[in-house]
Structure 1
Amino acid sequence: MRYIVTPFFGFVVGDGKKVRFWKDNWCGTTPLCETFPSLYALTSSKEAWGGSWNPCFNRPFNDWELEEVERLFCCLEGKKVRVDEEDRVRWMDSKDGVFSVKSLYRALQPMSLDSFPSKIIWNSCVQPKLSFFAWEASWGRVLTLDFLQKRG
């Protein structure tokens, strides 16, 4: 269960003591090691914690890597360490950052109800049996020929 819920948590950086620079989700929606894999490969401090917020690299950058470095520093711009505050955990799948069972349920749904084409499927101009077929097809429940062959 931990691995299902973990991607939906992130950090709001305070003093930076509990946040790993490269591996925690604090700058955007994915960890920096996934957003900038080529720079992560070059870093000498892959497990850097809040005490070392200046990334150190194994070698000088090549010309073709400078654009990636610029993207990293643009991402970091405006993310200031606040020494007087502690780091906080934030639930990334809600507007206010507070966890709720409802937001977890929505996040774990394979297809969001917001994106479900109900107005198209349940249209009064369409025959009910066609609407029902489209509804079943959208959920992958139609007994098409390939499904019938699997059943035998």
Structure 2
Amino acid sequence: MGYLVTPSFGFVVGDGKKVRFWKDKWCGTIPLCKAFPSLYALASYKEAWVNEVWTAEGERGGSWNPCFNRPFNDWELEEVEKLFCCLEGKKIRVDEEDRVRWMDSKDGVFLVKSLYRTMQPVSLVSFPSKMIWNSCVQPKLSFFA
């Protein structure tokens, strides 16, 4: 069951102490190591936490400083630019903790209904989920259905 649930979790970065920069989903819907595999291959510290890649500047500002094994070639600069575009607007919030986000709902809150939707195979015949998840149905009946 974990293989169904794990892909649907991501992170909202607060202080960046519990989210891995390259390997966790926090900047988009896939980890940065999969979104930018050529840059990940050049990363000096593949297990870096988000807060280790962020350099605070002043009270509210800062910048991203991932470390790489070597300088970039000309043909790699476009990929670097894409990475920094992805990171644009993201920053560390020292006064907040990192938190888990359920990626399959708009508000990030886990609902059994959204898990059920991810497990439901795509088919032409639709399962009557609207009747099961109807608020007029008693919770016990809805659960067992």
TM over 0.5: yes
TM-score (ref. length: structure 1) = 0.72
Distance, in Å, in 1 between the alignment partners of 2:121 and 2:33 is 26
TM-score (ref. length: structure 2) = 0.75
Larger RCO, structures 1/2 (Cα 8 Å, 6+ apart): 2
Distance, in Å, in 2 between the alignment partners of 1:99 and 1:39 is 32
- How much identity, in percent, do the aligned residues show? 82
| Structure 1 segments of 4+ aligned residues over 3 angstroms from their partners | none
Match runs of 1:1-152 below 5 Å: 1-53=1-53, 54-111=65-122, 116=124
Higher helix share: 1
- Secondary structure of the corresponding residue to residue 105 of structure 1: helix
CA drift at 1:107: 1.2
Higher strand share: 2
**What is the total number of aligned residue pairs between the two structures?**
115
Structure 1 spans left out of the alignment, 5+ residues: 119-152
CA RMSD of aligned residues (A): 1.5
Distance, in Å, in 2 between the alignment partners of 1:38 and 1:109 is 34
Aligned equivalent of 2:134: none
